[in-house]
Amino acid sequence: MHPILCLVAAAAGPVFALTIQSAGSNACLNLTSSLGFSRVATSQLDPEYISSRGDYWNVRQSVYAPSCVVHPESPQDVSVAIQAIRAADSRFAVKAAGHNTNNFFSSVDGGVLIDLSSMTAKSYDSATTLATYEPGSNWGQLYEYYQQYGRTVMGGRLSGVGTGLALGGGLSYLSPQYGIACDSFRELEVVLPNGSIVTASSTSNPDLFFAMRGGGGNAYGVVTKYTVQSRAIGNFYAGNIVWLFQQKDTVLEAIRDFIAYNTDPKASILPTYEKLTTPDLNLNLDELITMFLVYDGEDPGTAFDNFTRIPHIIDTRSIKTYKEVADMPVPFTAELTRADNVFRSGVHRIEDDSYNVLLETWREWAETHKASYIHTGFYMYPVPRSLTDGSHAQGGDAMQLPDGPWYWTAYDLATPPGLPNAAYNAIQESFREMVESTPNAPGLPLFLNEAAWDQDPLATFSSFETLKQIKNKYDPDGFFATRTGGWSFD
Ligand SMILES: Cc1cc2nc3c(=O)[nH]c(=O)nc-3n(C[C@H](O)[C@H](O)[C@H](O)COP(=O)(O)OP(=O)(O)OC[C@H]3O[C@@H](n4cnc5c(N)ncnc54)[C@H](O)[C@@H]3O)c2cc1C
Ligand SMILES: *[C@@H]1O[C@H](CO)[C@@H](O)[C@H](O)[C@H]1NC(C)=O
Ligand SMILES: *[C@@H]1O[C@H](CO)[C@@H](O)[C@H](O)[C@H]1NC(C)=O
Ligand SMILES: *[C@@H]1O[C@H](CO)[C@@H](O)[C@H](O)[C@H]1NC(C)=O
């Protein structure tokens, strides 16, 4: 038996483990006969299997060994896979670019991994200005493609992240102008939990469309094609400013002022406070503040002056294409650190002055636990009034964003790969307590995309009861609810 299955067997009893394994194997056997070996990798030595299993931002997911990896090439393939998994009563996971950090959201142990990365068709229609894309590209690939038309689609701030981001809302540098990514959805092609292929839009299955706009992936079905409103772009004025931590409070006040006072929706910031475990050549580089400044246009006016006038050690501002913005070379930042990564998230109002407490609480924890991690970051995501107006103007979404300004926080923790469970769980619990020690602002939704599995973000949505009903309608026998990971609807 494979060592991982031995671990499962030890934890849960041998009969249970063998049941998982044989249900997965049965589904895979069926799929190799219906889809063929080119689309189904059953051997752990197959390069397709190795790359699907190995490519997770939280590398702890790579420990899990699916019974096979399916690479569908069409919605029909996805439908066949879902029906075979159902017939075998196997577990499964749906994976786009594998950046979600939570166990079993896009990974599976002893079941079927549906890896969407072969579905990469994309198009642009200049008559309607609508764009379509299948789920298998990452944002960098999509931005590069649409750039030739002087357009882009609403997606992540870093190239490597995948399209699952938009199902969880999706914060973009362009969000202050156009709302979160899912607000730009116009039509989705969806394979339902019963294998039917349907269209979700404001006129076709509108309840499903509502839920899939920010209500999270792997709950209501599998999206096989997105049709979205594209956005006009030209060049950007963008770069990273890096400060030493001695400027942390000055920078924090400037962030606060930006959240409270900035009125130019073309100006976006992504502030990141970062701590690394090792002192870097005694240059005080074990802690840094990296600010992403991004302006949609070549002239930002005075929008960023409150940041740029604070003495800094690195400044990479220049005119960039949107793809270059998403690729910004950022020393020490998260995307580069593939490790046992987790996210946790928070939400706050600027008036309650909790921002000082949040930064200090995280930094003190990071100091105290320095030996336990490779990297930890504290991030603040402004949600200005223009963003929430832009969201509401497009019909609203599952998040039902209350009027800005307010802000999301996110925290990441990268621990060394392969920590024993006891040590891993202890550091996670301590990190959780640190984040939970400052209460969230009531009445605001958590940032689902970077919430930890135990944070129950859907319960913070004002639409939660509606989402539950929609979930029950489209997944009536709880097939997705019990056979793949994801957010709780209880
Ligand atoms: C370095 C980094 C940068 C990030 N930057 C941003 C950012 O700028 N803005 C932001 O909003 N978030 C950001 N995130 C968070 C990100 O949105 C989430 O991690 C998101 O879940 C990643 O989507 P994915 O497709 O890469 O991952 P996956 O783990 O493959 O998918 C995420 C979830 O969606 C489900 N899913 C994916 N595709 C489908 C589909 N077609 N149909 C049904 N379910 C599906 C999966 O089952 C899984 O549960 C970032 C994360 C990282 C690690
Ligand atoms: C094989 O999968 C198909 C769906 O493609 C399903 O209808 C059938 O019942 C499955 N067969 C078995 C033996 O599970
Ligand atoms: C810069 O900060 C000042 C307060 O110090 C504030 O009045 C002003 O609006 C800020 N400018 C911008 C563009 O955020
Ligand atoms: C699949 O589920 C949808 C939504 O619940 C339903 O309308 C449809 O009739 C179902 N299809 C089949 C073949 O059962």
375-391 tens-digit pLDDT: 999 999 999 999 999 99
pLDDT at 328 over 60: yes
pLDDT at 356 over 50: yes
Residues 249 and 182 in one domain: no
Relative to the alpha carbon of 261, which ligand is closest? 3
Relative to the alpha carbon of 258, which ligand is closest? 3
Residues 6+ apart with CB under 8 A from 489: 219, 458, 467, 468, 471, 481
**What integer is the mean pLDDT of 460-474?**
98
Question: Which of 63, 86, 118 finishes a domain?
Answer: 118
Q: How far apart are CA 32 and CA 10, in angstroms?
A: 30
Q: Is residue 490 part of a domain?
A: no
Q: Is residue 479 part of a domain?
A: no
Residue minimizing CA distance to atom 50 of ligand 1: 161
Q: Using the mean position of ligand 3's atoms as its centre, give its distance from the Cα of residue 307 in Å.
A: 10
Residues 106 and 164 in one domain: no
**Tokens 């046992």 map to which residue?**
340
Residue pair 416/340 in contact (Cβ under 8 Å)? The answer is yes
Question: What whole-number percentage of the chain has pLDDT above 90?
Answer: 89
The pLDDT assigned to 128 comes to 98
Token pair of 42 as six digits: 């059953």
Overall domain count for the chain: 3
Angstrom distances, CA of residue 142 to CA of 296, 314, 484: 18, 29, 27
The pLDDT assigned to 405 comes to 97
Q: What is the CATH number of the domain that holds 341?
A: 3.40.462.20
Q: Is residue 86 part of a domain?
A: yes
Residues 138 and 64 in one domain: no
Residue minimizing CA distance to atom 6 of ligand 3: 257
Instruction: Please indicate whether residue 262, judged by its CB atom, sits closer than 6 Å to ligand 3.
Output: yes
Q: Which ligand 2 atom sits closest to the C-alpha of 84?
A: 2
Token pair of 18 as six digits: 């063998």
Least confident window among 138-147, 153-162, 365-374, 428-437: 365-374
Q: What is the CATH number of the domain that holds 31?
A: 3.30.43.10
Q: Is residue 485 part of a domain?
A: no
pLDDT at 406 over 80: yes
Residues 223 and 151 in one domain: yes
Q: Is residue 481 part of a domain?
A: no
Q: Is residue 110 part of a domain?
A: yes
pLDDT at 263 over 50: yes
**pLDDT-based confidence at 418, cuts 50/70/90?**
confident
Residues 340 and 352 in one domain: yes
Residues 200 and 212 in one domain: yes
pLDDT at 291 over 70: yes
Residues 350 and 425 in one domain: yes
Token pair of 80 as six digits: 């066949």
Question: Residue type at 309?
Answer: R
The SS3 assignment for 340 reads strand
- Helix (H) and strand (E) counts for the chain? 16, 19
Q: Is residue 402 part of a domain?
A: yes
Residues 352 and 450 in one domain: yes
pLDDT at 10 over 90: no
Residues 341 and 275 in one domain: yes
Q: Hey, which bits of 236-329 come out as E strands?
A: 236-244, 267-276, 287-295, 314-315, 318-320
Residues 106 and 180 in one domain: no
Domain range for 398: 236-460
> When comparing pLDDT for 9 and 185, which is higher?
185
pLDDT at 7 over 50: no
Q: What's the mean per-residue pLDDT of the chain? A: 93
Residues 53 and 140 in one domain: no
Q: How far apart are CA 26 and CA 398, in angstroms?
A: 36
pLDDT at 74 over 60: yes
**Cβ neighbours around 337 below 10 Å, total:** 17
Residues 111 and 132 in one domain: no
The SS3 assignment for 318 reads strand
The pLDDT assigned to 3 comes to 35
Angstrom distances, CA of residue 249 to CA of 244, 246, 359: 11, 8, 9
Give the torsion through C-alpha atoms of 223, 456, 110, 336, to 10 deg: 80
pLDDT at 271 over 90: yes
Instruction: Please indicate whether residue 303, judged by its CB atom, sits closer than 6 Å to ligand 3.
Output: yes
Relative to the alpha carbon of 479, which ligand is closest? 4
The pLDDT assigned to 359 comes to 98
Q: How far apart are CA 249 and CA 271, in angstroms?
A: 13
HSE of 61 in the Cβ direction (CA atoms, 13 Å)? Answer: 28
**What integer is the mean pLDDT of 316-322?**
97
Asked if the bond preceding 331 is cis, omega within 30° of 0, the reply is no
Token pair of 481 as six digits: 């609810």
**What integer is the mean pLDDT of 417-440?**
96
Q: What residues flank ligand 1, with Cβ below 6 Å?
A: 57, 94-100, 105-106, 116, 135, 156-158, 161-165, 167-171, 217-218, 222-223, 334-335, 449-450, 486
Q: Using the mean position of ligand 3's atoms as its centre, give its distance from the Cα of residue 302 in Å.
A: 9
Residue pair 240/330 in contact (Cβ under 8 Å)? The answer is yes
> When comparing pLDDT for 309 and 12, which is higher?
309
* CA 42 to the chain's CA centroid: 28
197-256 tens-digit pLDDT: 999 999 999 999 999 999 999 999 999 999 999 999 999 999 999 999 999 999 999 999
Q: How far apart are CA 376 and CA 434, in angstroms?
A: 13
**Cβ neighbours around 294 below 10 Å, total:** 26
The pLDDT assigned to 371 comes to 86
136-148 tens-digit pLDDT: 999 999 999 999 9
pLDDT at 479 over 60: yes
pLDDT at 277 over 90: no
Which of 382, 457, 473, 444 has its CA nearest to residue 167? 457
Q: What is the DSSP letter of 487?
A: -
Question: Which of 87, 118, 149 finishes a domain?
Answer: 118
Q: What residues flank ligand 4, with Cβ below 6 Å?
A: 192, 194, 196, 473-474
Residues 6+ apart with CB under 8 A from 73: 39, 118, 119
pTM (2 d.p.): 0.95
**What integer is the mean pLDDT of 148-168?**
97
Q: Is residue 487 part of a domain?
A: no
Q: What is the CATH number of the domain that holds 173?
A: 3.30.465.10
